[in-house]
Amino acid sequence: MRKIKLTKKEQWIEDHLEEFVPITGPGYDAIVAALERKKKEMVLNMRINRDDLEAIKQKAHKAGIKYQTLISEILHRVAQA
């Protein structure tokens, strides 16, 4: 059997599996509802200034996230304000 190489985060999860407990009832329902609200179901195509996009990419890189995720979060915050 071939051994799968895990990332550091995956290895941490495997090492701490016994600490996780299953969630049922209202807690589970709340998590499912939150995930449904976060589901991305629309596609947006837009033109953006090259310098602005590069600045967003740099900020996303510093934050350790993908730039599309950063743009989505910015749009979400503006929509909720």
Distance CA 35, CA 10 (A): 21
Decide if 24 is inside a domain.
yes
The string of pLDDT tens digits covering residues 7-56 is 999 999 889 988 888 888 888 888 888 888 877 788 899 999 999 999 99
Decide if 51 is inside a domain.
yes
User: How many domains does the structure of the chain reveal?
Assistant: 1
Distance CA 77, CA 81 (A): 6
DSSP tag of 19: G
Decide if 3 is inside a domain.
no
Decide if 22 is inside a domain.
yes
Domain of 44? 8-80
- The continuous run of DSSP H or E covering 63 comes out as helix 50-63
The string of pLDDT tens digits covering residues 49-78 is 999 999 999 999 999 999 999 999 999 899
Is the model's pTM score more than 0.75? no
The set of residues, in sequence order, having a beta carbon less than 8 Å from that of 74 and lying 6+ positions away, is: none
Decide if 1 is inside a domain.
no
Decide if 47 is inside a domain.
yes
